[in-house]
Structure 1
Amino acid sequence: MTKKFLSLSISATLFPLFSATCVLANDSGEPEANIERLTVTANRQENLDTELAMSVHSVSEQEMALDNGQHPADSLNSLAGVYIDQLAGGQGHKAAIRMPNNTSGYYLYLQDNIPLQSPAFFNHNALWWSSFNAGVQRMEVLKGAGTALYGSGAVAATINVLSKPVADKKESEFNLVAGQHDYRKLQFSHSNMLDQQSGFRVSASLFDNQGWRDHTAGTRGELSLRHEYQLASDEQLTSLLVMSDLEQEMAADLSESQWQSDRNGSGLSDEVLAVDPLRKTQYLRLSTQWEKFTANALYSVIPYLRYRTNDYTATWNTNTPKIESSVTSLGLLAMSNFTLTDKAETTIGLDIELSEGEQLSYQPLDVTTTGWGADTFVKGEKFYDDTTRYTGISPYLQYKYQATDELQLTLGGRYDYANYDFDNHITVFGDIGHGKLSMADRQDSFNHFSPKASVNYLLSPDSSLFVRYANGFRLPSAGSLYHITTKDSEEGISSLKPEVSDTYELGYKLNSDSITFDAAVYYMDVDDGIVHSYNQDGQRYLVNATRVIHKGLELATNWQLNEQLNATVAYTRSKHKFDDYQDYSGNEMMSAPETITNIRLRYHPSWLPQLTSMVEIQSVGQYWMDDANTTKADGYRVVNFKGHYQVNKQLSINARVINLTDKEYESSARISYGKMQFSPAAARTVYLGVHYQW
């Protein structure tokens, strides 16, 4: 291409990117430079991370190559304050970033700065819709509430997966990984220039795994297409097509007796296994980004089309109903950045999304349950069948002022308006049996203004101090609003407000020739929490009636000890407490580890420069198993090994050993309805791979 723009997306002005630090040999076997952390700003100039008033960390392409993971968690968990927990050993996940480990909508998931899903139909497994295994260049996590560019969900963190750009010259690569439990992953990527103005990249992957637990086999395919077209020296079009298809067997947590007898079991009863519960999801996203630069401005417009399905069996219900859903979205992300003076710039933007979600739950076969709540379910019965149309309109503004050479001030704000139009296809309203309540057609709307402010001060050319305030929010999902039971009431829905957070953060950053260091102290209160309350008839209803306090310390360092040794340490200590929530006020929240630590020691021997090896220690501290604070889980500490050997310029081989000491432990544990539930972690597992590029 005649010219490469440094701007990667509409968020280039407000969500700067910096390279993760790692040691990995290049094609010649020499170690890559690894300490300098650079950003991309609105004027397309490279800036040190010390100029950013935010806590944002990333994983580079080189580090992901060394990890060679089967899931984004294998790399993301190396970042301070980040813990992604894979569910049942599969591709699903929940996250603990400045929050307890949870499945709620406190996180905004992006790929190439485009939301992976609609806020009205949040799914905690959103990372499985990213093209992690096909053409990813880097992954980033912005901790705390997002900038003015980000709306619902950007409460505790924003996770962004960025795809590889088109190469300046023809290149191809092939990667094959095999491991225990019939694990196989095949990846291919090819990039080339079509002419002086345009080029493309095609990336694909196929993943197949029988799973180390019973009934956790899965297959996943991904395809990513990227086309870049240079309209003029200052104008460019970037088009992206991402598709994926996942089918995975479903398992569950283990009871205490199951944990003691067979830790590799599915956790499902014979009756549930007889229906062979599966989860199937398909995903498609098409987008085109137009960018234009002038002497004093940047213009960016991204229209996108997004479609996904999510079909599964609700194995946690005794009658094992089927759930089928699809969401189709049309969106537009528009932004302009203007340099007002040599000290000031303004960013103005508008996000629009129209989504339509189809949701269906039905009985797949005749079932008669026993025990408490015994009931008879007839094949074909519907529990809900509806369409919800979501409209979101969000203008935002951000102003940045360079008061002195050392001091930078930033102010911003975002207004979000959301409308839900619910259409119930079950024509009978009220009690429809089996404890289900059918709701009449209705409309509901929500709005929220999110202010942002930050101060960044350069202490020296290599260090900085920042203070940041950011307000965030999350919308209720369509399912939580409209899929209710006879224990519930429609009361309160019309007066419901978004759940709101305020994040206060103080941070310090240092970059030097041999070491980088980051420290951040944060305080986040989440107010107007959406919870159940009870009316005089004993019915539950949704209400904004809780306040939770999250606070913690995050430390991250990368130290180049010498030419052969490099160490990174990511450490977090946090507390998560109910400030005002029914009988739990003053208690700590369940599933909230006191500490999370990741240590990586990389060795690049001078006597064998083609080799890079890494020992990784992942540690999760104690946490309460219930909100009543009756029982604590011990947490765990596990050791992993990863290695990369560059045979020649084209060929390399890699190895990965998870749980090197073959430790028996649970990745999470909880108490549900008075009974202990355990999610087992994998025993020692070995993976070997080969990578060829030409």
Structure 2
Amino acid sequence: MKGLRFLVVLMWIMSLVLSRMGWAEEEEGVTKLEKVVVTATRTPHLLKDVPVETVVITREDIEKSSAQTISDLLGYTPGIFVRAEDTPGASAWRAKVRGLDFNSGYGLVLIDGQRVKGGGMGEYGIGLNQIPLEMIERIEIVKGPSSVLYGSDALAGVVNIITKSAPEKPNFGLEVASGTHNVNIADIWFGGKLGKLGVYINANYEESECGKYGYRSDRKEDYYRDRLDAKFSYDFAEDVKLSLGINVEDWDREREYESGVKRYTDKKKYRVSPGLEATFEDGSMLKIQGYWYDWDFDNKESGGTSGFTPLQGDMYYRQGEFQYTRPLTKIHLFTVGSEYLEEELDYNLAHETIDTKSFYFQDEMNFLLWKPFSVVLGGRLDDHSEFGSEFCPKLSLMLEAAEKTKIRASVGRGFKSPTIRQLYYETPFQHGNHWIKSNPDLDAEYSVGYSLGIEQVVGEKCLLSLTFFRNDLKDKVVSVETDEVIEGIPVNTYENVKDVHTQGVEMNFRAEICQGLTGVFGYTYLDAEDEGTNKDLTYSPENTFSARLTYDYKLWGLITSIGTRYTDKMYKNSDNTKETDDYFLTEAKLIKKLTKYATISVEANNIFDSDYGDPDSEWAGPTYLTRFKLSF
């Protein structure tokens, strides 16, 4: 009830703001509805016309934000909750979409439409902060079950990070940044076209003294990452294009504790992604792509006696897919596709090869009844070498109720296969104060998700959206205690025991308040509950609110931005006996254009030294970063 009262008050405030605004005619304004998106249906649509609700974070949003990481960018999106410090090296290990964890495999992360791995050892490793911000063109977010097109892991939603491609005109640039906790970042890039050949290359280096779980005073920690991203394209003809992506990354972390124990983590990642796209005279499109990915890691310790399990080895991912889209009459746009994914795990705790063969179809139907009406119906069949066949259908509807009013609804089924740690570890794995023992008899998890939303454009300067959602999750995998003990330390394993639901309301409001001043406001009410115990899910705040104001004073070449996020109290344990306090986080950024080619910026995060509602834990406190950028 508290959340619903908060929503009513917030909508009343918005109505007051709207009633006092004057609207000038502008093609796009701050609504961003003319942007082309591809994630929701795997086919290009203007954002205003896509039948499935989609959120876009543009390049302009990224540059004006004070975010140093992708996870911090996502934190301003209604329905996505991130509890992590915004510093290179910190892992967004508590990041949720509609109450379900990214790092446990409930949300799928894509880069240029292809799934990525490698953020958390032993789990799915859905690391959000895997790519430098300078390489990103935009981020597309689709919330709700998306297994219909993307298979396992897309149970709660998809985040697709679209990277930059070769620009029409040559572009060269560099950026350096330095800040609190010895944060140093450097980017250098070049892009352009030479005849039919397009090239974009970005080299990135970053370092900090912030650990995976944030700053800790009981240890000396150093984090380093070198990354090279290269994208090549070749236009064989006007409608036929070849592409090749190459990514190389070297990631190192060193920790030295007061006890004298030292731990080292070294991860190397290599990825090659070829592709072919062709468009034919009848309007049909063919897309063939794939990737080869090797993640090599070495995690070891010196000077310790117990409580640590070394990890060494490789993970290999090999994927190939084709997709064919063709218009059938003026009403139907039909898409079929097939995908093959092989995952090979070769390290000291597991030696497994699993494969998944998939087939999917989708029919996008556009009708003109009394109002424009769109229907998207699709299904995907996955044949998993461990779990057999799974079929996930989805139905989405969009009604243009008025010229600037859209109503969207969807219902779909999603599934998630258990993680590497949950299934395949051949020996128990020590993790802090307990051992972990895998369970090879686990079943996949399933969900049915529903959503209903309305989107209203006022003039050309304001966008207001309101969405209701619910997810019902069956056979959730949880960690449970056993009667076993190893060296006096208890052993936990995994079981399919829980049915849970998450449901709530999301509201998003974007407006140009006056010339140069824009505001973005978001609110989420969330009810996330374990139906077996009637307890709330951990780290699932009932109310979250965000607001950001940006002022662009072009006459002085000056941009200022300030943002704040509120997080309600939440439970820290499944028994609901421990909880955090509610808290605010505030950040700001100042950008000054020095010349046509040069800019300097200063940004501050956690300005008022928030303790994230947990004063007994240690946090990095306020952090600052200065950037200098040249772009020709």
1:653–1:642 distance in 2 versus 1, CA, 3 Å: same
Letter in 2 for 1:62: E
Deviation, structure 1 residue 187: 0.7
Tell me what 2:628 maps to: 690
Q: Is the 8 A contact 2:563 2:586 kept in 1?
A: yes
Q: Is the 8 A contact 2:564 2:586 kept in 1?
A: yes
Deviation, structure 1 residue 680: 3.4
Q: Is the 8 A contact 1:97 1:156 kept in 2?
A: yes
Structure 1 residues 136-215: aligned runs within 5 Å: 136-146=136-146, 148-195=148-195, 197-211=196-210, 213-214=216-217, 215=220
1:190–1:157 distance in 2 versus 1, CA, 3 Å: same
Letter in 1 for 2:207: D
Cα distance in 2 between the residues matched to 1:630 and 1:44: 44
Q: Is the 8 A contact 2:199 2:230 kept in 1?
A: yes
Tell me what 1:300 maps to: 287
Deviation, structure 1 residue 679: 4.7
Tell me what 2:31 maps to: 35
Cα distance in 1 between the residues matched to 2:362 and 2:570: 39
Tell me what 1:469 maps to: 411
1:650–1:113 distance in 2 versus 1, CA, 3 Å: same
Cα distance in 1 between the residues matched to 2:574 and 2:375: 40
Q: Is the 8 A contact 2:584 2:610 kept in 1?
A: no
1:68–1:192 distance in 2 versus 1, CA, 3 Å: farther
Letter in 2 for 1:35: T
Residue 330 of structure 1: SS of its match in structure 2?
strand
1:659–1:121 distance in 2 versus 1, CA, 3 Å: closer
Deviation, structure 1 residue 127: 2.6
Q: Is the 8 A contact 1:314 1:323 kept in 2?
A: no
Question: TM-score, normalization: structure 1?
Answer: 0.78
Question: Which one is further off, 324-333 or 313-322?
Answer: 313-322
Residue 479 of structure 1: SS of its match in structure 2?
helix
Residue 329 of structure 2: SS of its match in structure 1?
coil
Letter in 1 for 2:70: P
Tell me what 1:601 maps to: 549
Cα distance in 2 between the residues matched to 1:685 and 1:44: 39
Residue 126 of structure 1: SS of its match in structure 2?
coil
Tell me what 1:439 maps to: none
Residue 604 of structure 1: SS of its match in structure 2?
strand
Cα distance in 2 between the residues matched to 1:58 and 1:326: 34
Deviation, structure 1 residue 312: 2.8
Residue 64 of structure 1: SS of its match in structure 2?
helix
Q: Is the 8 A contact 1:152 1:472 kept in 2?
A: yes
Tell me what 1:416 maps to: 382
Deviations along 1:541-565, one digit per CA (max 9) or x if unpaired, are 6543210010011111111011031
Deviation, structure 1 residue 485: 4.3
Q: Is the 8 A contact 1:667 1:681 kept in 2?
A: no
Tell me what 2:11 maps to: none
Deviation, structure 1 residue 56: 2.0
Deviation, structure 1 residue 202: 0.8
Tell me what 1:569 maps to: 521
Deviation, structure 1 residue 108: 0.8
Question: Which one is further off, 151-160 or 69-78?
Answer: 69-78
Letter in 2 for 1:225: A
Tell me what 1:67 maps to: 65
Deviation, structure 1 residue 477: 1.9
Tell me what 1:327 maps to: 315
Q: 1:289 aligns with which of 270, 275, 288?
A: 275
Q: 2:506 aligns with which of 554, 557, 575?
A: 554
Deviations along 1:580-625, one digit per CA (max 9) or x if unpaired, are 2xxxx1111121111222210112236x441110111022111012
Q: Is the 8 A contact 1:38 1:46 kept in 2?
A: no
Deviation, structure 1 residue 234: 1.0
Q: 1:505 aligns with which of 424, 433, 451?
A: 451
**What is the RMSD computed on CA atoms of the aligned residues?**
3.1
| Identical positions, percent | 18
Question: TM-score, normalization: structure 2?
Answer: 0.85
Deviation, structure 1 residue 191: 0.8
Deviation, structure 1 residue 180: 2.2
Deviation, structure 1 residue 121: 6.6
Cα distance in 1 between the residues matched to 2:76 and 2:514: 21
Tell me what 1:127 maps to: 128
Q: 1:648 aligns with which of 571, 583, 595?
A: 595
Residue 304 of structure 1: SS of its match in structure 2?
strand
2:223 aligned with 1:225, yes or no?
Answer: no
Tell me what 1:258 maps to: none
Cα distance in 1 between the residues matched to 2:305 and 2:322: 44
Cα distance in 1 between the residues matched to 2:576 and 2:475: 23
1:389–1:502 distance in 2 versus 1, CA, 3 Å: same
Cα distance in 2 between the residues matched to 1:185 and 1:201: 20
Deviation, structure 1 residue 54: 2.6
Q: Is the 8 A contact 2:424 2:438 kept in 1?
A: no
After the TM superposition, which segments of 4 or more aligned residues of structure 1 sit over 6 Å from their partners? Answer: 41-46, 118-121, 314-317, 486-492, 533-541
Deviation, structure 1 residue 458: 0.6
Tell me what 2:90 maps to: 91
Q: Is the 8 A contact 1:520 1:555 kept in 2?
A: yes
Question: Which one is further off, 621-630 or 203-212?
Answer: 203-212
Q: Is the 8 A contact 1:569 1:597 kept in 2?
A: yes
Cα distance in 2 between the residues matched to 1:312 and 1:653: 38
Deviation, structure 1 residue 681: 3.2
Letter in 2 for 1:165: S
Give the paired residue count: 580
Q: Is the 8 A contact 1:100 1:593 kept in 2?
A: no
Q: Is the 8 A contact 1:134 1:204 kept in 2?
A: no
1:602–1:136 distance in 2 versus 1, CA, 3 Å: same
Tell me what 1:78 maps to: 76
Letter in 2 for 1:604: D
Tell me what 1:216 maps to: 221
1:39–1:33 distance in 2 versus 1, CA, 3 Å: closer
1:565–1:659 distance in 2 versus 1, CA, 3 Å: same
Q: Is the 8 A contact 2:253 2:266 kept in 1?
A: yes
Residue 73 of structure 1: SS of its match in structure 2?
helix
Deviation, structure 1 residue 493: 3.8
Structure 1 residues 364-403: aligned runs within 5 Å: 384=349, 386-403=350-367
Letter in 1 for 2:395: A
